A and B are shown apart, each in its own frame.
Chain A
Amino acid sequence: MIGEISHFLSLSAALLLSLVLIFNLFFFFNKIHQNQLTLSTRLFNQACWLVFISFGMYVYLAISDDFSIAYIASHSNSQLPAFYKVTSIWSAHEGSMFLWIVFLTAWSILFINSLDKKHPLKKLTLLMLSLIILGFLLFLLLTSNPFERILPFGVLEGADINPVLQDPALAIHPPMLYLGYAGFVISFSFITAYLLNGNFELQWEQDIKNWSFMAWIFLTIGITLGSWWAYYELGWGGYWFWDPVENVALMPWLAATAFIHSLFASSKSNVLKTWTMFLGILIFALSLFGAFIVRSGIIDSVHSFANDPERGLYLLSFSGLITLLALTIFAYRLPLLNSSKLVVTGSKESFLSMNNILMVTSIFSIFLGVTYPLIIESISGEKVSIGPPYYNTIFAPLILIAAIFIMLSVDALWQRSMTLKTLFITMVAPTMASLLSIYLIWQATNIFSILAYIGIFSGSLILFSYLFRTINKKFINKGSAIAHVGLGLLFFAVSMNSILSYEKNLNLAPGQSISVNESVQNFSFKDIRVFKASNHDVISAQVLLLQDGKEISLNPQKRKYATRGQITSESAIHASVLKDTYLTIGDQLENGSWTFSLKINYFIKWIWFSAALMVFGILLTIFKKKPS
């Protein structure tokens, strides 16, 4: 019963949104102007509320174990804690699509109602948002219906969520990510509305600035959570694999980063407006593209959703339509948009302008990496894959250039060239310091990898440049400084991690110990225990390490889940400031001994910390009080 009502509410929401569009079309052709906006806004708001209530009911269905709903039966189980019953909703395609729509709706209703009713762009923005939400609702209801029933009686017990998905980080990762992707529908719609409207005297940047920053924050958190989860859960000790699914999240992030920088130039100095508009459209277009890639099955990846060409085709057409709509208006209005101001070489604007080019180049490189296998396969039938070697090679020079830009542009002036003197001073000290760091690291570790050293150099360049500015008591915009320091730290930590980390595979019987190397002086496999937990059996190894003079106790486990019989391993991680000691238990051999994989991962904590810094820096920017 509740399932039917929930389904009905979603259908009604779609209906109301269609009405918004139809009425406005009618009004347009019949030149009726009174109360048009009030009516549209009311219908829109009500449609949004229907979506929320519908989803709320769906959550209730999941919590109350309604296994007559096929999706809930396939992904949940009565034995799951309530929290995971809820999070199971977005563990697969239909439910996560529903969540994505809820977030689109949430951002939209908040934004539309934040606009003053006299705001010239309110109506057009509302129409764009209605169109987009309607499209996704129809996609959900027609091709990926989460409300489908198992007839005639349903099943008595759910299939259980994959135990690997019963994890707090993984449960929160999609909502954060979707909040990020969905948030950029605002800049997309607002800018398109601006272009349609045609009055280019209007200022538009301020209206979407903070909304875009907020969306950027969610996107960053979402990507970081995914990376963090992959690190501690997958047992490989890796945190980024340049997997297509990861790449399609990174592309909007790069576009969003470029956008917020370009927005800065555009509102402060009235240049780069065209770029900013283009980027604002690009972010959401890339988010849509990402959704398409992940859900259509076109790309084979270790974590893509199930194949379904029909869904893929719908998503492709819809995303393509929306994007083309925006881009066509943009292209059409382009001649009218060109600002008369010239960008002075060596000014802050010029760096921001070059940064846009840099970001777009990065996005293009990733896009090429993602599509190249498809191109090759359709031409020669050969199956190839593009992996870390390609991306590392491409990104090394890109991050170097980014670091140089950051170093130079912080001191750059608006609308004026930097003096050669400033240029020299800004460059010399950090460059020298960074080269010295490279030299010291090389001497200390005796490892040389050109790509990694480019990364270390880039990171150091940024860090030292801010250090010297602080020492010289120069003015720094705190939010931006913290965010950039975070980025520099990220470059540094990732590169150090790649040259210093190592792995040792061991084979020991319970009671045995071994000396691994100078750092891990003693590895002692004390005991192995078997016991039962709530919905799984556990095999737990007790290992005592003597590492760098300290005793560390680690308990890697293997778990067998009752409902699926699936076996997962939980790695034991001891995280200290400089490195993570990461232990995974393998299999038992015929002679009773066990295999272990011991990984020492350096600077991992710094990677998470750098993401936190970036988010914190942007938060400061949003909430900083304007000087009166």
Chain B
Amino acid sequence: MLQVRKNRLWKLVTILFLSAGGISLILFSLNSKLDLFYTPSEMLQADIKSGYRIKLGGMVKNGSVKRDGTIIRFLVTDFIKEVPVIFEGVPPDLFKEDSGVVILGHFLNGTFEAEEIFAKHDENYMPPELTIDEAKL
């Protein structure tokens, strides 16, 4: 039946068209909207195009955190190189010196301007301040 064939053809065309659109959208988004992750040494070595949002991961260097009103400055290190970071706002609870962080933002003129700070929580992580009551031993 010609009508059925025609219907099927339309269906096929629509599906192909939508799929092509869908796949293009996905590929485009994947490639342009991913955040690259770098350690300080990797980032300083790589050639980051300006304006690109990236993730920087490392340790907050002990003694480097300085607060100036709502602005926080600190150094992120991987024990090989370090990067100065500037952030405005209240950082998450787990953010502290000597602890791991991942920062999302832009690297401009030698400073990393952070938009968001993530501090990782791992179920096995034992913070050093944990003590066992000696009286109970």
Contact = CB atoms under 8 A, between A and B. Distances in A.
A236 B92 contact: yes
Interface stretch (A13-21, A386-394, A464-472): A386-394
A373 B31 CA distance: 11
Interface in B18-61: 22, 25-26, 29-30, 33-38, 55
A585 B93 CA distance: 10
B37 A394 contact: no
B130 A586 contact: no
A569 B22 contact: no
A523 to B, nearest CB: 13
B123 A305 contact: yes
Contacts of B128: 565
B5 interface: no
B81 interface: no
A156 B136 CA distance: 7
Interface in A521-566: 563-566
Contact of B25 (A91, A369, A394, A593): A394
Contacts of A156: 132, 136-137
Given A156-B137, A157-B132, A507-B69, A306 B124 contact: yes
Contacts of A393: 25, 29, 33
A568 B121 CA distance: 13
B35 A384 contact: yes
A589 B69 contact: yes
Contacts of B91: 586
Which one of B7, B34, B131, B136 has the highest number of Cβ atoms from chain A below 10 Å of its Cβ? B34
A397 interface: yes
Interface in A567-582: 567-569
Contact of B130 (A234, A506, A565, A584): A565
Contacts of A507: 69-70
A388 to B, nearest CB: 9
A386 B130 contact: no
A368 B25 CA distance: 13
A503 interface: yes
A505 B67 CA distance: 13
B92 to A, nearest CB: 6
Contacts, number: 126
B25 A157 contact: no
Contacts of B35: 384-387
Contact of A164 (B70, B88, B121): B121
Which one of A302, A506, A569 has the highest number of Cβ atoms from chain B below 10 Å of its Cβ? A302
Given A157-B133, A372-B34, A386-B35, A303 B90 contact: no
Contacts of B67: 587, 589-590, 595
A586 B22 contact: no
Given A156-B136, A305-B123, A595-B67, A505 B34 contact: no
Interface size class of B (residues with CB under 8 A): 35 or more
Contact of B90 (A302, A306, A376, A596): A596
Interface residues of A, number: 59
B110 interface: no
Given A505-B90, A586-B70, A564 B36 contact: no
Contacts of A155: 132
A430 B64 CA distance: 57
A597 B89 contact: yes
Interface in A190-214: none
A159 interface: yes
Which one of B30, B68, B102, B128 has the highest number of Cβ atoms from chain A below 10 Å of its Cβ? B30
A394 B90 contact: no
Contacts of A345: 7, 11
Contact of A386 (B33, B68, B126): B33
B129 A564 contact: yes
Interface in A163-210: 164
Given A302-B120, A368-B26, A569 B33 contact: no
A383 interface: yes
Given A92-B123, A345-B11, A384-B37, A584 B30 contact: no
Contact of B34 (A390, A565, A569, A587): A390
B127 interface: yes
A384 B70 contact: no
Contacts of B104: 387
B123 to A, nearest CB: 4
A302 B70 contact: no
Interface in A64-114: 91-93
Interface string A302-320: 1111100000000000000
B127 A564 contact: yes
A553 B106 CA distance: 37
B92 A235 contact: yes
B43 to A, nearest CB: 11
B25 A566 contact: no
A384 B130 CA distance: 34
Interface string A365-379: 100110011001000
Interface string B108-125: 000000000011111110
B123 A91 contact: yes
Contact of A389 (B25, B33, B119): B33
Contacts of B7: 345
A254 to B, nearest CB: 15
Nearest to A305: B123
Contacts of B96: 567
Which one of B11, B104, B130 has the highest number of Cβ atoms from chain A below 10 Å of its Cβ? B130
Given A368-B30, A595-B70, A565 B127 contact: yes
A361 interface: yes
Contacts of A270: none
Interface in A469-511: 503, 505-507
A72 B93 CA distance: 25
A567 B70 contact: no
A384 B34 contact: yes
Given A368-B26, A386-B35, A390-B30, 6 more contacts: A164-B121, A385-B55, A389-B29, A389-B33, A393-B29, A595-B67
13 contacts: A157-B132, A302-B121, A306-B124, A385-B34, A386-B35, A387-B35, A563-B130, A564-B127, A569-B93, A584-B90, A586-B91, A589-B69, A595-B90
Q: 7 smallest A-B Cβ distances: which pairs?
A: A565-B129, A383-B37, A586-B90, A597-B90, A505-B70, A389-B33, A507-B69
Interface of A: 91-93, 155-157, 159-160, 162, 164, 234-236, 300, 302-306, 345, 361, 365, 368-369, 372-373, 376, 382-387, 389-390, 393-394, 397, 503, 505-507, 563-569, 584-587, 589-590, 593, 595-597
